[in-house]
Structure 1
Amino acid sequence: MLYSTEAIRTIALLGHTASGKTSLTEALLHGSGMISAPGSLERGGTVADSDPLERKYRHSLYSALIHLDYHDTRIHLIDTPGYPDFIGQAVSALSAVETAAIVINAQNGIEMIAGRMMALAQQRKLCRMIIINQIDADNIDLPGLLASIQETFGKECLPINLPAAGGTRVVDCFFNPSGDRDAGRTDFSSVEQAHRTLVDQVVEVDADLMALYLEQGEIEPEQLHAPFEQALREGHLVPICFVSAQNGAGIQELLDVFVKLLPNPTEGNPPLFYREDLSASSTEDRQREIRSVPDPSQHVLAHVFKLMVDPYVGKLGIFRIHQGTVRRDSMLYIGDARKPFKVAHLYLLQGKEQIEVPQGVPGDICAVAKVEDIAFDAVLHDAAEDEHIHLKPLPFPTPIYALAIEPKKRGDEQRLWEILQKMTAEDPCLKVEHQIHTNETVMLGLGELHLRCALERMMEFYKIDIATRPPKIAYRETIAGHAEGHHRHKKQSGGAGQFGEVFLRVESLPRGAGFEFVDEVKGGAIPGQFIPAVEKGIRQALEAGPLAGFPMQDVRVVVYDGKSHPVDSKEVAFATAGRKAFIDAVLKARPAILEPIVNIEIVVPEQTMGDITGDLSSKRGQVLGMQTVQGNTVVISGQAPLAELNDYQSRLNSVTGGRGSYTIEFSHYDPVPPPTQQRMVSQHKVEPEE
Structure 2
Amino acid sequence: MAERSTGATTGAAGRVPAADRPDMVRNVVLVGHSGAGKTTLIEALLAETGVIQRIGRVEDGTTVCDFDEVEVRQQRSVNLCAAPTMHNNIKINFLDTPGYADFVGDLRAGLRAADAALFVISAVEGVDGLTRMLWEECALVDMPRAVVVTKIDHQRANFDEVLTSCQDAFGDGVAPLYLPVNGTGLLGLLSQRFFDHAGGTCVERDPDPGQREIIEQYRGDLIEGIIQESEDESLMDRYLSGEEIDSKVLIDDLEKAVARGSFHPVLAAAPGVGMREILEIVTQGFPSPLEHPLPAVTTIDGRPVATLSADPDGPLVAEIVKTTSDPYVGRISLVRVFSGTLTPDMTVHVSGHGLAERGHEDHDLDERVGVLSSPLGKTQRPVAKCVAGDICAVAKLSRAETGDTLSEKDQPLLMTAWTMPEPLLPVAIQAKSKADEDKLSQALARLVAEDPTLRLENNAETHQLVLWCMGEAHADVLLDRLAKRHGVEVEKVDLRVPLRETFGGRAQAMGRNVKQTGGHGQYAICHIEVEPLPSGSGLEFVDKIVGGVVPRQFIPSVEKGVRAQMERGVLAGYPVVDIRVTLYDGKAHSVDSSDMAFQIAGQLALKEAAARVQALLLEPVDEVSVLVSDEFVGAVMSDLSSRRGRVLGTEPVGSASSGGGANGRTLVRAEVPELEITRYAIDLRSMSHGTGSFTRSFLRYEPLPAHLAEKVAAASQ
- 2:306 corresponds to 1:306: no
Task: Write the distance in 2 (CA, Å) between the matches of 1:434 and 1:351.
Answer: 35
The residue aligned with 2:275 is 251
CA contact (8 A) 1:398 1:666 kept: no
- The equivalent position to 1:355 in structure 2, one of 342, 358, 381, is 381
- The equivalent position to 2:696 in structure 1, one of 663, 669, 678, is 669
The residue aligned with 2:596 is none
State the 1:382 CA deviation.
2.0
- The equivalent position to 2:310 in structure 1, one of 289, 294, 299, is 294
The residue aligned with 2:74 is 57
Partner SS for 1:454: helix
Partner SS for 1:335: strand
- 2:295 corresponds to 1:275: no
- The equivalent position to 2:40 in structure 1, one of 23, 35, 38, is 23
The residue aligned with 2:415 is 390
- Residues 240 and 451 (structure 1 numbering): CA distance in 2 closer, same or farther, change over 3 Å? same
- The equivalent position to 2:169 in structure 1, one of 137, 140, 152, is 152
Superposed counterparts of 1:479-558, under 5 Å: none
CA contact (8 A) 2:347 2:409 kept: no
- Aligned residue pairs: how many? 553
- Residues 62 and 200 (structure 1 numbering): CA distance in 2 closer, same or farther, change over 3 Å? same
AA partner of residue 167 (structure 1): G
AA partner of residue 340 (structure 2): G
- Residues 375 and 636 (structure 1 numbering): CA distance in 2 closer, same or farther, change over 3 Å? closer
Of structures 1 and 2, the one scoring higher in RCO (CA 8 A, sep 6+) is 2
- Residues 175 and 364 (structure 1 numbering): CA distance in 2 closer, same or farther, change over 3 Å? farther
- Residues 345 and 150 (structure 1 numbering): CA distance in 2 closer, same or farther, change over 3 Å? same
CA contact (8 A) 2:405 2:414 kept: yes
CA contact (8 A) 2:426 2:679 kept: no
Partner SS for 1:406: strand
- 2:120 corresponds to 1:96: no
State the 1:394 CA deviation.
2.5
The residue aligned with 1:455 is 479
State the 1:173 CA deviation.
2.7
- The equivalent position to 2:404 in structure 1, one of 372, 378, 385, is 378
CA contact (8 A) 1:603 1:662 kept: no
The runs of 5 or more residues in structure 1 that have no matched partner are 279-285, 489-498, 500-540, 542-546, 551-589, 626-634, 653-658, 686-690
1:377-408 CA-partner distances (Å, limit 9, x unpaired):
112122633x24323x3233221222211212
1:217-262 CA-partner distances (Å, limit 9, x unpaired):
34444445664444234432111111124xx321222122222222
Partner SS for 1:458: helix
The higher radius of gyration belongs to 2
Task: Write the distance in 1 (CA, Å) between the matches of 2:123 and 2:248.
Answer: 31
CA contact (8 A) 2:151 2:157 kept: no
CA contact (8 A) 1:404 1:471 kept: yes
TM-score, normalised relative to structure 2: 0.67
- Residues 617 and 19 (structure 1 numbering): CA distance in 2 closer, same or farther, change over 3 Å? farther
State the 1:133 CA deviation.
1.1
Task: Write the distance in 1 (CA, Å) between the matches of 2:54 and 2:191.
Answer: 29
CA contact (8 A) 2:621 2:702 kept: no
AA partner of residue 347 (structure 2): M
Task: Write the distance in 2 (CA, Å) between the matches of 1:37 and 1:677.
Answer: 63
- Residues 136 and 199 (structure 1 numbering): CA distance in 2 closer, same or farther, change over 3 Å? same
Partner SS for 1:138: coil
Partner SS for 1:453: helix
State the 1:681 CA deviation.
9.0
AA partner of residue 405 (structure 1): I
Task: Write the distance in 2 (CA, Å) between the matches of 1:474 and 1:355.
Answer: 51
CA contact (8 A) 1:402 1:473 kept: no
State the 1:418 CA deviation.
1.5
State the 1:50 CA deviation.
4.2
Partner SS for 1:663: coil
- The equivalent position to 2:257 in structure 1, one of 214, 222, 231, is 231
RMSD: 4.5
- Residues 215 and 371 (structure 1 numbering): CA distance in 2 closer, same or farther, change over 3 Å? same
- Residues 296 and 482 (structure 1 numbering): CA distance in 2 closer, same or farther, change over 3 Å? same
State the 1:314 CA deviation.
0.8
Task: Write the distance in 2 (CA, Å) between the matches of 1:598 and 1:8.
Answer: 41
Task: Write the distance in 2 (CA, Å) between the matches of 1:325 and 1:620.
Answer: 57
AA partner of residue 669 (structure 1): R
State the 1:338 CA deviation.
6.8
Superposed counterparts of 1:42-191, under 5 Å: 46-164=63-181, 166-176=182-192, 182-184=206-208, 190-191=214-215
State the 1:443 CA deviation.
1.0
Task: Write the distance in 2 (CA, Å) between the matches of 1:156 and 1:66.
Answer: 29
- 2:24 corresponds to 1:7: yes
- The equivalent position to 2:290 in structure 1, one of 251, 257, 266, is 266
The runs of 5 or more residues in structure 2 that have no matched partner are 1-16, 196-203, 353-362, 501-533, 543-555, 557-566, 568-572, 577-617, 653-663
AA partner of residue 622 (structure 2): L
State the 1:139 CA deviation.
3.3
CA contact (8 A) 1:273 1:290 kept: no
- Residues 115 and 650 (structure 1 numbering): CA distance in 2 closer, same or farther, change over 3 Å? closer
State the 1:21 CA deviation.
0.9
After the TM superposition, which of the residue ranges 592-601 and 109-118 deviates more from structure 2? Answer: 592-601
Task: Write the distance in 2 (CA, Å) between the matches of 1:263 and 1:82.
Answer: 24
- Residues 399 and 151 (structure 1 numbering): CA distance in 2 closer, same or farther, change over 3 Å? same
The residue aligned with 1:558 is none
The residue aligned with 1:583 is none
State the 1:114 CA deviation.
2.2
Task: Write the distance in 1 (CA, Å) between the matches of 2:624 and 2:103.
Answer: 19
Task: Write the distance in 1 (CA, Å) between the matches of 2:133 and 2:682.
Answer: 27
1:319-338 CA-partner distances (Å, limit 9, x unpaired):
11111222223332212777
- Residues 369 and 205 (structure 1 numbering): CA distance in 2 closer, same or farther, change over 3 Å? same
- Residues 612 and 265 (structure 1 numbering): CA distance in 2 closer, same or farther, change over 3 Å? closer
Task: Write the distance in 1 (CA, Å) between the matches of 2:300 and 2:405.
Answer: 16
The residue aligned with 1:560 is none
1:446-474 CA-partner distances (Å, limit 9, x unpaired):
12221122112111121122132135679
- Residues 265 and 435 (structure 1 numbering): CA distance in 2 closer, same or farther, change over 3 Å? same
AA partner of residue 163 (structure 2): L
Identity of aligned residues (%): 25
Task: Write the distance in 1 (CA, Å) between the matches of 2:63 and 2:421.
Answer: 28
Partner SS for 2:287: coil
AA partner of residue 410 (structure 1): K
1:58-81 CA-partner distances (Å, limit 9, x unpaired):
211112211112221211011111
The residue aligned with 2:336 is 320
CA contact (8 A) 1:332 1:380 kept: yes
State the 1:375 CA deviation.
2.0
AA partner of residue 18 (structure 1): G
AA partner of residue 467 (structure 1): E
1:150-187 CA-partner distances (Å, limit 9, x unpaired):
111112111121112x2222223345589987244787
- Residues 612 and 362 (structure 1 numbering): CA distance in 2 closer, same or farther, change over 3 Å? closer
State the 1:55 CA deviation.
2.1
AA partner of residue 368 (structure 2): K
Task: Write the distance in 2 (CA, Å) between the matches of 1:346 and 1:232.
Answer: 32
The residue aligned with 2:488 is 464
AA partner of residue 694 (structure 2): S
